Amino acid sequence: MAPVGVKRRRMLAPLPEGLRQIHAAFEGIAHQPDTVGEVLKRACETVWPSEKGDLFQWSAVLDVLDAELGKEDAAKEIVIAALRFTRTLLENCSNRHVYNSYEHLQRLLESPDWEVVVCVLRVLSVLATPRSTRQLIGEAQFVSRLTALSSTWTGSTDGLVSLSACCREDVSAWMAQGTTVRMQLYRTGGEGQEGKGEGLTVINIHNAHTCLGDTEEIFQRIVDEHSVPAAHHFALKTRLRLARAFPDLEARRQWVRVHMMATTLL
């Protein structure tokens, strides 16, 4: 009998055969790391049984997924598959509070690839359901990133270009607004670089899609020129990516999707 005041741990039922094989395959990655892609592919194709599982049983697998998501040079296919199986586990298991890879989700929200961002938002949408994990998504780091992703073109939450207009093929009437990066930030005394005092900074860049260099290079030039504090980097980069994506129909539709998903999480 368990001592008084100590909660007796519930015995976990054995995993069904199909899931047991997937679990064993993840454990084998430690000895054969080059099989991670194949294992993730099998895992994502696995049909989960009707019975709900327990995330405690998948802690070793979560460690593998955490390691893959933590790699800076991980292939896009591996990252997306790891996020998809993470979502599968969270959707089909209780005790979601066991999940603890939030720092990787925060970093991956900065990915230049919209598919990765969408996969992260889908994981967050599952974590937003129970109160035990919802409060973690409500932390300042997540809220600031989700707020930035919920912005529309022209860099404000209400925007000058409607979402319906962004989904049309012809956006010539809104090209000037859509390709402009607008941002206002207030720099405190301790945030500025040497020679930059506190005060209001206004960033206004027209035709961002024609700027020389890739998005990262342009972003760094803006940061250096305006001495943008680190706390505003994600919002600035997001608005720059939006402006540079505006001329492309598919890119606009993808970022409208990101906007709507981020908005529902706030």
Q: In the chain, what are the domain boundaries?
A: 17-137, 163-265
pLDDT at 5: 41
Averaged confidence pLDDT in the chain:
86
Report phi then psi at 227, rounded to 5.
50, 55
| % of the chain exceeding 90 in pLDDT | 54
Place of tokens 């390709």: 179
What HEC string does 195-253 produce? CCCCEEEEEEECCHHHCCCCHHHHHHHHHHHHCCCHHHHHHHHHHHHHHHHCCCHHHHH
- How many Cβ atoms sit within 10 Å of the Cβ of residue 87? 19
Residue pair 238/151 in contact (Cβ under 8 Å)? The answer is yes
Q: Is the pLDDT reported for residue 129 higher than 90?
A: no
- How many Cβ atoms sit within 10 Å of the Cβ of residue 228? 25
Structure confidence at residue 2 as a pLDDT band (50, 70, 90): very low
What is the residue type of 151? S
Q: Is the pLDDT reported for residue 158 higher than 50?
A: no
Q: Coil, strand, or helix at residue 62?
A: helix
pLDDT at 15: 85
What residues have CB less than 8 Å from 228, skipping those under 6 apart? 185, 201, 203, 222, 236
State the DSSP H helix or E strand holding residue 181, giving kind and residue range, or none if neither: strand 181-187
State the DSSP H helix or E strand holding residue 116, giving kind and residue range, or none if neither: helix 114-127
Say what the pTM is. 0.84
Instruction: Render pLDDT for 19-56 as a digit per residue (tens, 0 to 9).
Output: 999 999 999 998 899 999 999 999 999 888 878 889 99
pLDDT at 216: 93
